[in-house]
Each structure stands twice: as C-alpha cells, then as structure tokens.
Amino acid sequence: MSAAPLLRATGIEKRFGAVVAASELNLDIAAGEKVSLIGSNGAGKTTFVNMITGYLKPDAGSITLAGRDITRLSPRAITHLGVARSFQIPQLCAELTVLDNMLVANAVDAGALSFWRPARRPQAVARARELLQRFDLADHTGRRVAELPGGVRKLLDIAMALTGSPQLLLLDEPTSGVAAEEKYPLMDRVMRALGEEKMTVLFVEHDMDIVTRYASRVIAFYSGRVIADGAPAATLDEPEVRRYVTGTLR
Amino acid sequence: MTALLTILIDGVTYASWLFIVALGLTLVFGVLKILNIAHGSFYALGAYAAASFVGWGASLKLAPSFSLVAMLLAAVAVAALVAPLTERGLLRMFYGRDEVLLVLVTYALFLILEDVTKLVWGANPYYVSEPYSMFGNVDIGTQSWVGYDFVLVAVAVVVGGAVWWGLNRTRMGKIVLAVIHSEEVASSMGVNVSKVYALAFSIGIFLAALGGALTAPMISVQPGVSVGVIIVSFAVVIIGGLGSIEGAAIGALIVGLARSLAVHTWPVAELFSVYIVMAIVLMFRPEGLFQRIQARKI
Amino acid sequence: MGRHSPGRLFAGGVLLIVLLVAAGALMPKWLTFLITMAASHGLVSLGIVVLMRGGVVSFGQGLVFALGGYAAALLFNKLGVTDALLLAAAGGVVSALFTLPFAPLLARYRGIFFAMLTLALSMVLYGLLAKVDVLGGSDGFNMGRPTLLGMRLPDARVGYVMYAVTLSVAGLMALVARVYFDSTRGLVSLAMRENELRVEYLGGSARQAQAINYVIAGFIGGVGGALTVMSLGHIDPNFSYWTTSGEFVFVAILAGHQSVFAVFLASTLLEVVRSFSSLYFPNTWQLALGLFLLIVIRFVPRGLGSLWIARTGKPAREAT
C-alpha cells in the first residue's frame, strides 16, 4: 500500500445559506482505489466533487492532490494537474464526429496560440482511436454525436475524460438514464478500459448493485457529513446508511 | 437657464417619439423573443400608408382634422394587413430556433420590405405636411416649438399608459404577461400561445406603424427612412431592457436627453452619443436598466 | 486532416489564384473590379465565419472594415505611405490593435448580446466619423493611386494590378484561415460552439478562444477594408454603418462556416446581384437578396458550403 494518499480532503466546510453541504469532511483516497460516493440528493456528494474540480471553493479546509494544495486553484489549473470528470447528462459536441470529440481534449492541451498544429495529426488520432477501441466505440468513429444512442454517448463522455490521462477520474452517475439491462455491460466496459490505466476513480452512484459490484470502497454522505466509509457490503449494511441512504431501515 | 429648458424640452419631445417607435419592438421581443430588425420597415410602412391616407382624405375634400384620423387608420391598416401575413406566413416557420437566427430572418424581411415599399409607392418622396402645422406654435421663453411635437408627448403618454393598463389590468394582458415569463409554463396551463404571439405581434406592428404615421408630417417619406429608425430603436430597447415597457420609456428618455444635450452643447457627439450609451449599458448592465431576461453567458 | 491533404489543398488554392489572376488580364474592367470587391469584402465575411465557428455572430464588422480603410487612406494621404501591400498590412494591424482591448470584454458575451454590442461599437465609430470634419465628415474623402513595390501604376494597369494584389492577399488569408480552421485552435472553437461547458472541463478557456477569434476577425476585416479603399479610391463613414455590417453577415450566413471557398463564392454572388440589379432591376434586388437569405436559412441552414462538405467535415462524396 502506498504511503501518501492521492487525494486528501481536510476539514472541508461548505454552506449555502442555511444548507450545510459539507461539514468536517476529512477523506483520504489512495491511488488506484475505486471509490463510490453514495447518499441521497442534497447529501453533499456532488458538492464534494465540484470542490475537487475547483468549481466550488470550500469555506474552510483544504484539498491536496498528490501532496499539492489545490484548494484555491482555478478549475483549469486543476484539470491540467490531472483531474477529469464525466457528466450525468453527457456533455458532448453534438455536431462533431466521435473522433473529433475525442480530439478536442488533445486540442485544448496544445496551447492557446498553436494555430498551425493540425487538429487531426497522427499521434492525436492514434491516441483517440486507441481509447475508442478500449471502450468498444471504434465502430462509431466517423459518426456525428447527434446520431448516437444514449448508452454510446455515456461511454464517449467518459472516454473523453480519459484522453488527458488523468490521475483522478470523477464519474457523475455513470449509469443514470441507462436501461437496467445495459448498466452492467456499460460499467464492465468502463472498468475494463480504466483497469489498463490503473486509475483512481471516484464515482457518484445511486444504484447499489452497481456500487457493490464495481467499488472497492464506499463513502456514504448525509447532510454534508461522511456517515460511513468502508468496503461495500459492510458499509451498505450499516444502520445509518440503511436509514439515510438506501432507505431499507425504518 | 433657458438653455437647460431647451435641452429638456427637445429631449422630452424626441424621447416621446422614440418611445412610441420603440415600444412595439420591446413588446415583440418580450413576448415572441424576436429582436425584429424589420421593425423600422413597419414604421416606414406606417409613414407611407399615412401619406396615402391623408392624401386620399385631402382629395375627398375632407376636413384637415381628418388627417389625424387618417394617420391612425393607416397604422391600423398596416397592422391588420401585414402583421398576420408576416407572423403566420413567415415567422412561425422559425419559432424555437436560435435567437440570432431569428434576427437574421427579420433582416431578410427588412430587405424584402425595403423593396416592397419601393414597388408600391415608388422611389420619390411623399410629403404630408398639413398635420404638422395644425397645432400652431408654442412659445416658451425665447424659443418656439411646433405644437405638434407636444401632441406627440401626449400621444406617448396615452399609448404607454394604454399598453401598461392593457398588460396589467386586463385578463388578456395577464395572459400575455404569463407568456412573457414562460411560454412553456403558460402553454401547459392551457394558454393558446399561438394566439398570444399573433396578438402581441399585431400590437407591436401597429405601434411601429403608428410611430411612422405620426412622424410622416415631420419628414419627407422616402426609401431609407427605416434604416435610421431601426438602429436607434435598438439602442432604446437595449438600454431600457428587452421586453420591458418601463424600460422603453426610460431608455427613450435617456437617449432623447443624451442626444438633445449633444446637439446643444457638443454637436460632434450627436450621433455617437446614443451608441456610446448603448455600448456602456451593454458593458456594465447588459440586461438593460429594467431586467427582464438573462444576459451574457460569461 | 479529415479533408484533402494540406499539401494538395495549398497547391490547389495557389493554382486557383494564379489562374484567376492570369484570367484577369483578359477580363473587362468592370469584371475585374467586381471580383476585386468580392475578394476584399469577402475577407470581412471570412472574419465573421471565424467568429461563427466559435458560436457567435458579429453584427458590427463594419467597425474593422472602416478602421482598416481609414487607416490605409490616412496613411496614404497624411503620411505618404503608398505601397499597396504595406497599406493592406497596416489596415489589418490597426484594426487588430483596436479590437485587442475590446476582445476580452466581448469574449464574455454570447447570442443577441454579442451581436448588439458589436453593433453598438460599429455605430459609435460611425457616429464619430460622420461628425468629425477633419476626416471628411459624412462625405468621407478620396484616396489616390497606390504604388506596388516601388513601381508607379499607370492608368491603364492600376485596375488589373489592384485586382491581382487583392486576389493574392485574399487568397493568402484564405489559405491561412483554412489552416487555422483545421488546427487544434480551430477544433477548440468548433467544440466551444457546441458545448462550452465541456471545453472548460477539459481545461480550455472559452473566453480566451473567443477573444483570439475576435482579434483575428479584426485583422482580416481590416485588411479587407484597406484593399477595398485602395481599389475604390474613396472612403466614408458608411463603411461602419449597420447596413454594411449586415451585408457582411449576409454573405457569411449564405456561405456557412465550413468552407472558406464558399465565403468568396457567396461574396461574389452578392456583388453580381448588386451590380446587375442597379442596371436591370433597381427596385427588386434587395427583395431578391432577402428571399434568397430566407431560402438559405430555411432549406440550407448550414450555408452553401454544406452542399459540398458533409456534416462530418469530410467532402460529401466520401462517407466516413
């Protein structure tokens, strides 16, 4: 087991008026972990994710990534340090092809003034195709995103997040909006593709079957606090979790 | 002191004219979410129609006071004939599309109407000067103003009041307000949004045409009158806030006074003063002075 | 690249320009003048296409058109700079410098508000130019004949030489624009047009990209203004009037944002309609333009360029 955690949150506090979104949050995430964040709506999971990506700043406390303090950094800086996220509703460029969508991440990295570097140069295309292959999306390479079915869009949304080879990947409800019988295949594909990169993954999920099957660790939120943290089976069985998250305890 | 008074009166009279002209534009945007470049073209149609109607009245040997009625009828005629044709025949095809796209559609309409007026009325100027001298002159201090200008102020107040009352005190008005706030919600509550759109558009066109009709006696009605009006109406409406009646009034006052101030103290600024104010408002308070809609994206 | 290889495209473009310039020697003067205007005006519309690829439409490019034109004309009249190429470059540089401070501000606006702010700025310049007598007021002023690389241009040749210069400069800008569109920055613009949020979360800056696009459009438009003034011999504040800006937008919409060639094709179409109409149908050419615009918006919404470039950015005949 490695010594220093990849992500460390210390004493995070965040309020929106009277609503407590985070309170005394202390978390360590080690490299390579597959962690699921669970909790009912408004529990603070998404706020936490937004604070990691830099779109929200905590009122107090700090967040470090690989030892570096990222609490006050801009979202762009944090992205460049290796944090990427996917979206509950896939955020894609509808009129562009699947390949072009994948190339956008690479294009962004090229710098603000590189007017002469072709967007579709060989190395970038090769990397994009390789990722598409891993996600079983190669057949869709030349298709316009607007023509794609929902499950494919979800996969593409996640694949795009990987183009920059992030250290930390945040998945926001990867199986939401996906038909029940497609959830396992989708997550299988995602985890298989990620496995090859040995990535640290945080995923927000509401589906407990998915959580049990794919997470090595579960963190449960309620009212801005962590109420449970541990291996899936055990954590999901805890009375607090059953009362406030899964609703299986009266 | 008299200089200040002159500036004020000039400003207010110009503002009244601006208000009558710009009110329809802001109303159409508020309800249909369309920024209508062709608004000035309807203004021109009103001016031309007024020229024709007043001309017919004169040839029928009707009393000079009929010319005022003629101008009103001209505005009604334009609205009645052109509004349904435009709204149902053209705009309806593009509802729900990108707002900038709709501006381009109205730009195409502007181009079309420029030539339509030329085809119907020819390229030579029309003069409708009789009504202008009907109200004599008003002397204030050392300056003399044409009574007609003050009549415009009265008309502006009446029109503004009527529209305000119509929106806020009548049942139909409340329905229109609902559509302004959210077309989707209103529609799901059973409002016939189509009808509201048609109504709002007709009123907007009527107001534009009325502005044109009332202005006809003050200018020579010829091709190109629409062009200057469009841009200054945009300025008024942006400054006041798109979709806001009060905004149109305040915007008109600001533009009117700014221009009047420039004309009397620093003539070089006469033209760009209006657009500087428009640019400044857009830079610091893009929703305009009376917020109705969300502005920039950041 | 998804389309033709860069080498082939470059060669094809150069060949086209060479052919047109050569053919110009055989054309009547009115035709070379028409094409010259189409090319120099087309540059301003090309600038609008640069912005459209980022998701915004400028209704005030008359601003940079006028800036470039007045810069060239003033440099000629007041400072004795007469070289056509130098004046064209100066027009672009002056416009770009002027747009630079406004670019970060404009980069925060989208949709109607971007359109209105660009419109307002162009009208401010118009208002200023129309009333400043030193610059000729609303009548504007004339400009003499430019020179080329030290050579004076005789009456009989000046039209053709300006034609050649304009086509060459416009052609160069067109090729550079194509390279830009196919570059990483070009892709970021296209992506931003579709989904700014995603671009931001990938680490990009939409504001920065928009600002850069605005300055580029300013430069190209300024060059277009300078070239126009040199062939026209006259400049006036109408260069910055909203109806002038409207025509540039018309051409950009007609062309669509995918093909650079389409921009110049559309610009030529406008010039042809404008020239022939004043002879044969003076009261219906705007009607024709308006109807044409409506037809394009309704049935070919992605512009003429989409007729030969498929939505995937590849030539229409090659699927995938």
pLDDT in tens, A10-36: 999 999 888 888 888 999 999 989 999
Asked if A164's CB is within 8 angstroms of C194's CB, the reply is no
Asked if C284's CB is within 8 angstroms of B119's CB, the reply is yes
Considering only the beta carbons, identify the residue of A95, A104, A120 that sits closest to C202: A104
The answer to whether the beta carbons of residues B57 and B67 sit under 8 Å apart is yes
Per-residue confidence (pLDDT) for residue C284, from 0 to 100: 86
CATH 3.40.190.10 fits A1-82+167-179+198-250, yes or no: no
pLDDT at C317 > cutoff 80? no
Per-residue confidence (pLDDT) for residue C48, from 0 to 100: 98
Give me the amino acid identity at C314. Answer: K
Percent of chain A scored above 90 by pLDDT? 50
Q: Is B185 exposed, middle or buried (0-12, 13-18, 19+ CB in 10 A)?
A: exposed
Q: How many angstroms away from the CA of C29 is the closest CA of chain A?
A: 38
Q: Are strands A217-222 and A225-230 parallel, antiparallel or unpaired?
A: antiparallel
Asked if C109's CB is within 8 angstroms of B108's CB, the reply is no
pLDDT tens digit sequence for C34-72: 999 999 999 999 999 999 999 999 999 999 999 999 999
pLDDT at C316 > cutoff 70? no
pLDDT at B160 > cutoff 60? yes
Asked if A112's CB is within 8 angstroms of C186's CB, the reply is no
CATH assignment of the domain containing C300: 1.10.3470
Residues B256, B17: Cα–Cα separation, whole Å: 9
Per-residue confidence (pLDDT) for residue B297, from 0 to 100: 42
Asked if A79's CB is within 8 angstroms of C202's CB, the reply is yes
* Cβ neighbours around C22 below 10 Å, total: 10
Range from B121-125, B192-196, C27-31, C305-309 carrying the lowest mean pLDDT: C305-309
Residue B243: pLDDT band (50, 70, 90) is: confident
> How high does pLDDT run on average in chain C?
90
Q: Which two tokens stand for residue C225?
A: 């203004």
* Cα-based distances in Å from A209 to A214, B159, C49, C142: 9, 65, 50, 79
How much of chain A is helix, strand and coil, in % rounded to 5?
A: 40, 25, 35
Per-residue confidence (pLDDT) for residue C257, from 0 to 100: 93
The residues spanned by each domain of chain A are 1-82+167-179+198-250, 90-164
User: What is the number of domains present in chain C?
Assistant: 1
pLDDT at C229 > cutoff 70? yes
Range from A95-99, A193-197, B216-220, B236-240 carrying the lowest mean pLDDT: A193-197
Query: Is residue C137, in this structure, part of any structural domain at all?
Result: yes
pLDDT at B142 > cutoff 90? no
State the first-to-last Cα distance of chain A, in angstroms, to the nearest integer. Answer: 39
The answer to whether the beta carbons of residues A6 and A168 sit under 8 Å apart is yes
Chain A within 8 Å of C182 (Cβ-Cβ)? Answer: yes
pLDDT at B74 > cutoff 60? yes
Residue B276: pLDDT band (50, 70, 90) is: very high
Range from A79-83, A235-239, C28-32, C44-48 carrying the lowest mean pLDDT: A235-239
Strand order in the sheet with A68-69: A19-29, A7-16, A60-65, A68-69
The 3-class secondary structure across A131-171, one letter per residue, is HHHHCCCHHHCCCEHHHCCHHHHHHHHHHHHHCCCCCEEEE
Asked if B105's CB is within 8 angstroms of C294's CB, the reply is yes
Enumerate the residues of chain C whose CB falls inside 8 A of the CB of residue A110. Answer: 184-185
Residues C199, C201: Cα–Cα separation, whole Å: 5
Q: Which of the two residues, B77 and B132, has the higher pLDDT score? A: B77
Residues A55, A50: Cα–Cα separation, whole Å: 5
pLDDT tens digit sequence for C159-210: 899 999 999 999 999 999 999 999 999 999 999 999 999 999 998 999 999 9
pLDDT at A2 > cutoff 60? no
Mean of pLDDT values over B288-294: 68
Give me the amino acid identity at B109. Answer: L
Considering only CA atoms, which of C283, C278, C288, C227 is closest in space to residue C254?
C288
Mean of pLDDT values over B134-162: 86
Per-residue confidence (pLDDT) for residue A242, from 0 to 100: 84
The answer to whether the beta carbons of residues C238 and C250 sit under 8 Å apart is no
Q: Which two tokens stand for residue B259?
A: 């221009």
Percent of chain A scored above 70 by pLDDT? 98
Mean of pLDDT values over C259-277: 92
pLDDT tens digit sequence for B23-54: 999 999 999 999 999 999 999 999 999 999 98
The chain B residue lying nearest C115, using CA atoms, is: B100
Interface of A with C (CB under 8 A): 53, 75-76, 79-80, 84-85, 91-97, 100-101, 103-120, 141-144, 160, 164
Give me the amino acid identity at C104. Answer: P
> How high does pLDDT run on average in chain B?
89
The chain C residue lying nearest B274, using CA atoms, is: C124
Q: How many angstroms away from the CA of A129 is the closest CA of chain C?
A: 14
The answer to whether the beta carbons of residues C53 and C263 sit under 8 Å apart is no
Query: Is residue C320, in this structure, part of any structural domain at all?
Result: no
Q: Are strands A60-65 and A68-69 parallel, antiparallel or unpaired?
A: antiparallel
Asked if A115's CB is within 8 angstroms of C179's CB, the reply is yes
Per-residue confidence (pLDDT) for residue C280, from 0 to 100: 79
Long-range CB contacts for residues B256-262, cutoff 8 Å, separation at least 24: B256/B10, B256/B11, B256/B12, B256/B13, B256/B14, B256/B15, B256/B16, B256/B17, B256/B18, B257/B7, B257/B8, B257/B11, B257/B12, B257/B15, B258/B11, B259/B11, B259/B14, B260/B7, B260/B8, B260/B10, B260/B11, B260/B14, B261/B7, B261/B11
The answer to whether the beta carbons of residues B50 and B212 sit under 8 Å apart is yes
Residues A240, A246: Cα–Cα separation, whole Å: 9
The whole-angstrom distance between residue B74's C-alpha and the CA centroid of its chain comes to 15
pLDDT at B292 > cutoff 80? no
The answer to whether the beta carbons of residues B251 and B289 sit under 8 Å apart is yes
Residues C147, A171: Cα–Cα separation, whole Å: 63
State the first-to-last Cα distance of chain B, in angstroms, to the nearest integer. Answer: 46
Chain A within 8 Å of C156 (Cβ-Cβ)? Answer: no
Give me the amino acid identity at C188. Answer: V
Percent of chain C scored above 90 by pLDDT? 72
Neighbors of chain C by Cβ distance (3+ pairs < 8 Å): A, B
The answer to whether the beta carbons of residues B148 and B215 sit under 8 Å apart is no
Q: Domains in chain B, start-ordered, CATH in brackets?
A: 2-284 (1.10.3470)
Asked if C180's CB is within 8 angstroms of A118's CB, the reply is no
Residue-number span of the structural domain to which C184 is assigned:
6-307
Asked if B267's CB is within 8 angstroms of C131's CB, the reply is yes
Residues B30, B240: Cα–Cα separation, whole Å: 12
Residues C185, C187: Cα–Cα separation, whole Å: 5
- DSSP 8-state class, residue A4: S
Query: Is residue C313, in this structure, part of any structural domain at all?
Result: no
Residues A67, C275: Cα–Cα separation, whole Å: 69
Considering only CA atoms, which of B73, B64, B12 is closest in space to residue B209?
B73
SS3 A227: strand
pLDDT at A121 > cutoff 60? yes
Asked if C293's CB is within 8 angstroms of B111's CB, the reply is yes
Per-residue confidence (pLDDT) for residue A3, from 0 to 100: 63
The chain C residue lying nearest B93, using CA atoms, is: C298
Q: Which of the two residues, B290 and A17, has the higher pLDDT score? A: A17
Per-residue confidence (pLDDT) for residue B22, from 0 to 100: 94
Considering only CA atoms, which of C262, C238, C239 is closest in space to residue C251?
C262
Q: How many angstroms away from the CA of C185 is the closest CA of chain A?
A: 6
Q: Where are the alpha helices (DSSP H) in B60-192?
A: 66-89, 99-121, 147-169, 171-181, 183-188
Asked if C320's CB is within 8 angstroms of A115's CB, the reply is no
Give me the amino acid identity at B126. Answer: Y
pTM of the complete model beyond 0.90:
yes
The chain C residue lying nearest B235, using CA atoms, is: C120
Residues A194, A4: Cα–Cα separation, whole Å: 22
Enumerate the residues of chain C whose CB falls inside 8 A of the CB of residue A115. Answer: 179-180, 183, 185-186
Q: Which two tokens stand for residue B152?
A: 């415009």
Q: How many angstroms away from the CA of B111 is the closest CA of chain C?
A: 5
Q: How many angstroms away from the CA of C215 is the closest CA of chain A?
A: 13
Q: Are strands A217-222 and A34-38 parallel, antiparallel or unpaired?
A: parallel
The 3-class secondary structure across A86-106, one letter per residue, is CCCCCCCCCCCEHHHHHHHHH
Mean of pLDDT values over A192-200: 80
Residue C318: pLDDT band (50, 70, 90) is: very low
Asked if B114's CB is within 8 angstroms of C286's CB, the reply is yes
pLDDT at B298 > cutoff 80? no
In our burial notation (b when 16+ CB lie closer than 10 A, e otherwise), range C286-295 reads bbebbebbbe
